[in-house]
Amino acid sequence: MVEGGQRASFLADRLAVAKPTVTALVDGLVERGYVSRSQSPDDRRATQIALTSAGRKALKAAETEMTERLDGLLARTDDQRTVLDALAALQAALEEAFQERMAGARR
């Protein structure tokens, strides 16, 4: 999430889920103090969602835990470089598919 936040519609597109799904998830994150909602400076009808300091701290902890788990799994593979290269290719394909989806939505 960029500084200043994102709209729920952008997050829904990015996550490939319906906007009501994002709204429900955000409601729970707001209740826990991990994200905040604010009015968009560009559009009074839109709301932006941004991480709070507690949200950044929780995200960092989750990323650290996930990295440790993935490192443990990667250590069990015979060819770590091949696995990492395949994951990088998958990430690039996901990003390309997202960009294509966003371009199609703008038409």
- Tell me: the pLDDT tens digits for 72-98? 999 999 999 999 999 999 999 999 998
7 and 56, same domain (yes or no): yes
pTM for the model: 0.69
- How many domains is the chain partitioned into structurally? 2
In a domain, 70, yes or no: no
Element (H, E) at 102: helix 80-106
| b/e burial code for range 31-50 (CB count within 10 A of at least 16 → b) | eeebbeeeeeeeeeeeebbb
* 86 and 57 housed in the same domain: no
Confidence of residue 40 (pLDDT cuts 50, 70, 90): confident
- Greatest Cα pair distance, the chain, in angstroms, is 54
* Domain identity same for 49 and 96: no
Q: Which region among 3-7, 61-65, 87-91 has the lowest average model confidence (pLDDT)?
A: 3-7
Domain containing residue 47: 1-64
Would residue 72 count as lying in a domain?
no
